[in-house]
C-alpha cells in the first residue's frame, strides 16, 4: 500500500513544481521520416513533461519512467494494444494459477536473450523480483507478500501469502521488468534483504539498460532528455521500428508548437482545450478517457463532522452534483465514472449505472437530514493541474452545483503537499482528489473500502460497513474471472449507494502525433508503447 501513496505523492509534488523539471523546446534529434539501413526509420522525437526519477526498474514508478522501462525490460506477461483485461505471455510462454489463487507457475521461453547475447533464465527473474522487493523503492509493494522461486532454469513460481487473483495484472508492470542478473550484480546490484542499503547498481542502470527489450538506453538525463537506441539483437518478432527514440522534457505549451512544426512526432501532455483545432493533414489527435479518476470524498466520521457523516446529507451531495457538466469541463474524450473502477478494467460498471444528477431528490434528502444551515468545507490542491485541468476550477463547479441544492461549500485550497497531508489525516470534511491506477485490476480499488488507505482518509474506518467489507474480501479472493467481475460490479453499486466517495469523471488523455506515425494507443500501465509505433 505504501508504494501507491508514494507514487501519488511524487506525481503531486512534481506537478506542483516541487521537483525541478526542465522545459526543453528543441534539441535531441531530427524528424522520424527517412528509412535507413535494415528498414528501420531514423529517429522518433517524443515530447512529454517528465515525471522521472530513475531508469532502474526497481526504483522507477513514475509515468515517464514506465514509458521508458517498458521498452527496455521485458516482463513475464504483457497486454496487447490498449487492452487491460487479458494478460498474455511474453517472456513466459505460458502460466497457470492454483485453484486457491496463491501459486502461479510460469514456464519461460527458451529463446529470450539480453542485449549482450546472454540467455534469460529463471535465475534472472528471481533476482529481478527479489531486488524489487528488497531495494524497497516505490514499486516494492507490487510484490508484497509474494515469494519468487525457480525449480529449474525454465520455471518460475510465485507464491502469495493470500489469494492474489490480480497478480497476473500486476506482472506486466514495467517495474517488474527482468534484468540481466549477472551484469546488475557486477554493477553493484543486490537482491537480498538489506538491498535498500547495499544495492549500488542504480548509477550503472542509468547509463546502460540491462534488459531484453526492443530498445536500449543510449543516454539518460532526468532533467532534459532520454535517448533510446534500437536493440539490433532483439529476440522478439516485433522488431524496433526506429533506430533512435528521443524523449524530451517539454512543457505542454511548447509541445503543441513542436508537433505543429514537425519538431516532435508525438506529444503526450496536451489538455483537451490545447488540442482543439490542432488536427490537420499533418497532425492527428486522439483523445480518450484516461484511467485517472477525479473523486469527491465526504467524511463519514461523526467525530469529524456531524453534518458530512449524516447519510441524508451525503445523499444530497451525491445527487446534487452535475456530473455531465463536470465531464464538459474535462473536455473532449472525458467521460463520467460509473464507479471507482474505470471503464475498460475488469469489473467496471456499465455507463448506465452511473449516478445522475437529481436536484429534487437532493433537496428532499437535505430536508430529511435535519441539518440546519447545511455546509461543507472542501479542500483541494491549488497548484496541481491534472490532465490540464485546474482542480480549483473543478472545485468551483462543485460549489455552484451544491448551492443550487441548498448546501454552502467553503473552498479550502492549499499547496499540494499541504493538501495531501491534510487529506491523509482523515479530518477533512470534504476533499477533491484523484487516483491513478497502479495496475489495471479492480483489486487496486479496494483501498476505497472501510479501513482501506483511502477509506480512512474519508473517515470511513474499519468496521464502518461490515457488508461492504465482506463483499470486498470475496472479490479479493475470487479466482473465476466472470465471478470476479460480478463481485466488483456489485461492490461499486453499493459504494455508489452509501460510500463516502463520489466518483466524478475520467479526464481525457490526448495524444497528438505526426500523420506519418501509426500504432498510437493509450494504456494505463505504461501510457504509450513506443515499441508499437510505426
DSSP string, 9-71: HHHHHHHTT-S------S-S---S--B-GGG-EEEEEEEE----S-S-TTT--SHHHHHHHHH
Q: Is 90 exceeded by the pLDDT of residue 12?
A: no
Which pLDDT value is given to residue 299? 98
pLDDT for residue 27 is more than 90: no
User: pLDDT at position 40, please?
Assistant: 61
Any idea which of 2-16, 51-65, 164-178, 258-272 has the lowest mean pLDDT? 2-16
Chain CA centroid to CA 444, Å: 10
Given this model, what pLDDT does residue 30 score? 42
> What does the radius of gyration of the chain's CA atoms come to, in whole angstroms?
23
Q: Across the strands, what pairs with 248?
A: 47, 225
pLDDT (average), residues 302-320: 98
pLDDT value, residue 237: 80
- State mean pLDDT over 76-86: 94
Tell me what pLDDT residue 15 has: 40
Q: In which residue are the cell numbers 531530427 written?
A: 30
pLDDT digits (tens, 9 = 90+) for 336-385: 999 999 999 999 999 999 999 999 999 999 999 999 999 999 999 999 88
Give the pLDDT band of residue 238 (cuts 50, 70, 90). confident
The pTM of this model reads: 0.91
**CA atoms within 13 Å, Cβ hemisphere of 114:** 19
Contacts of 452 (CB under 8 A, 6+ apart): 446
**Rounded (5°) CA angle 52-334-472:** 80
Specify the pLDDT at position 38.
43
Q: Which three cell numbers stand for residue 170?
A: 500486476
Structural domains of the chain, ranges and CATH numbers in brackets: 2-287+510-532 (3.40.190.10), 293-506 (3.10.105.10)
Give me the chain's average pLDDT, please. 92
Q: Does the pLDDT value for residue 280 go beyond 70? A: yes
Q: What is the pLDDT of residue 523?
A: 96
Cα of 389 vs its chain's centroid, Å: 17
Q: 387: closest CA among 295, 287, 270?
A: 270
pLDDT at 352: 96
Inform me whether the pLDDT recorded for 5 exceeds 50: no
The tens digit of pLDDT for each residue in 424-467 reads: 999 999 999 999 999 999 999 999 999 999 999 999 999 999 99
Amino acid at each position: 500500500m505504501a508504494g501507491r501513496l508514494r507514487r501519488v505523492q511524487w506525481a503531486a509534488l512534481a506537478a506542483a513544481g516541487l521537483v525541478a523539471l526542465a522545459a526543453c523546446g528543441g534539441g535531441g534529434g531530427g524528424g522520424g521520416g527517412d528509412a535507413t539501413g535494415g528498414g528501420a526509420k531514423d529517429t522518433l522525437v517524443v515530447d512529454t513533461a517528465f515525471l522521472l526519477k530513475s531508469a532502474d526498474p526497481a526504483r522507477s514508478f513514475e509515468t515517464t519512467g514506465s514509458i521508458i522501462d517498458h521498452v527496455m525490460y521485458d516482463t513475464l506477461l504483457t497486454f496487447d494494444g490498449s487492452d487491460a483485461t487479458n494478460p498474455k505471455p511474453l517472456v513466459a510462454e505460458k502460466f497457470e494459477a492454483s485453484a486457491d489463487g496463491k501459486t502461479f507457475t510460469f514456464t519461460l521461453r527458451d529463446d529470450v536473450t539480453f542485449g549482450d547475447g546472454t540467455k534469460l533464465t529463471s535465475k534472472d527473474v528471481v533476482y529481478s523480483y527479489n531486488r524489487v522487493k528488497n531495494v524497497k523503492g516505490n514499486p516494492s509493494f507490487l510484490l508484497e507478500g509474494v515469494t519468487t522461486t525457480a525449480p529449474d532454469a525454465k520455471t518460475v513460481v510465485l507464491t502469495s501469502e493470500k489469494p492474489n487473483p490480480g497478480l497476473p495484472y500486476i506482472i506486466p508492470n514495467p517495474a517488474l521488468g527482468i534484468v540481466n542478473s549477472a551484469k546488475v550484480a557486477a554493477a553493484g546490484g543486490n537482491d537480498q534483504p538489506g538491498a535498500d542499503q547495499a544495492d549500488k547498481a542504480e548509477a550503472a542502470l542509468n547509463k546502460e539498460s540491462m534488459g531484453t527489450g526492443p530498445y536500449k538506453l543510449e543516454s539518460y538525463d532526468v532533467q532534459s532528455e532520454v535517448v533510446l537506441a534500437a536493440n539490433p539483437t532483439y529476440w522478439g518478432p516485433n522488431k524496433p521500428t526506429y533506430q533512435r527514440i528521443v524523449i524530451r522534457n517539454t512543457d505542454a505549451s511548447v509541445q503543441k508548437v513542436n508537433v505543429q512544426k514537425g519538431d516532435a512526432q508525438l506529444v503526450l501532455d496536451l489538455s483537451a482545450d490545447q488540442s482543439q483545432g490542432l488536427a490537420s493533414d499533418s497532425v492527428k489527435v486522439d483523445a480518450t478517457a484516461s484511467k485517472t479518476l477525479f473523486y469527491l470524498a465526504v467524511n463519514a466520521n461523526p467525530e469529524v463532522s456531524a453534518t458530512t457523516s449524516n447519510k441524508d446529507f451525503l445523499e444530497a451531495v451525491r445527487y446534487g452534483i452535475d456530473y455531465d457538466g463536470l465531464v464538459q469541463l474535462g473536455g473532449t474524450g472525458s467521460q463520467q465514472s460509473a464507479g471507482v473502477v474505470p471503464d475498460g478494467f475488469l469489473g467496471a460498471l456499465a455507463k448506465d449505472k452511473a449516478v445522475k444528477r437529481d436536484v429534487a431528490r437532493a433537496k428532499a434528502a437535505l430536508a430529511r437530514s435535519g441539518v440546519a444551515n447545511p455546509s461543507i468545507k472542501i479542500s483541494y490542491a491549488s497548484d496541481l493541474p491534472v490532465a490540464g485541468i485546474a482542480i480549483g476550477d473543478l472545485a468551483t463547479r462543485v460549489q455552484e452545483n451544491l448551492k443550487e441544492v441548498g448546501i454552502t461549500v467553503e473552498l479550502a485550497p492549499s499547496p499540494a503537499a499541504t493538501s495531501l497531508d491534510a487529506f491523509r489525516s482523515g479530518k477533512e470534511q470534504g476533499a477533491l482528489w484523484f487516483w491513478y491506477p497502479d495496475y489495471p485490476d479492480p483489486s487496486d480499488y479496494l483501498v476505497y473500502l472501510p479501513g482501506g488507505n483511502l477509506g480512512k482518509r474519508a473517515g470511513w474506518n474499519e468496521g464502518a460497513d461490515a457488508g461492504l467489507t465482506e463483499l470486498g474480501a470475496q472479490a479479493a479472493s475470487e479466482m473465476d474471472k466472470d465471478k470476479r467481475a460480478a463481485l466488483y460490479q456489485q461492490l461499486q453499486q453499493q459504494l455508489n449507494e452509501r460510500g463516502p466517495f463520489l466518483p466524478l469523471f475520467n479526464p481525457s488523455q490526448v495524444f497528438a502525433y505526426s500523420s506519418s506515425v501509426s500504432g498510437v494507443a493509450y494504456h494505463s500501465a505504461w501510457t504509450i508503447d513506443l515499441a508499437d509505433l510505426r
